[in-house]
Amino acid sequence: MSVRVELELATSDAEALLRHVLEHTPATGDFRHDAHLREAFETLADALRIEVPWVKKNGSSPGASGA
């Protein structure tokens, strides 16, 4: 089963969300839950990279401070 989600975000919000999903490391204490979260974050990051193509794979963008 899969779920399709459509979001309408400002570019800056999409960039911030992409940075978060790339930098966040799930640590719930449950290995399986953490694995599911990592997979979901990677899927979300892939979708955001398609929609915000100037964001590099590492989540940085031209002129971004990295903060």
Other beta carbons within 10 angstroms of residue 60's beta carbon come to: 15
Annotated domain spans of the chain: 11-51
* Per-residue pLDDT at 57: 54
Q: Is the pLDDT of residue 67 over 60?
A: no
28 touches 34 (CB < 8 A): yes
Q: Is the pLDDT of residue 62 over 80?
A: no
| pLDDT per residue as tens digits for the range 3-61 | 898 989 998 899 899 999 999 999 999 999 999 999 999 999 999 988 876 665 554 54
**39 compared with 66, residue with greater pLDDT:** 39
* Per-residue pLDDT at 51: 81
53: DSSP letter: T
d(CA 36, CA 58): 21
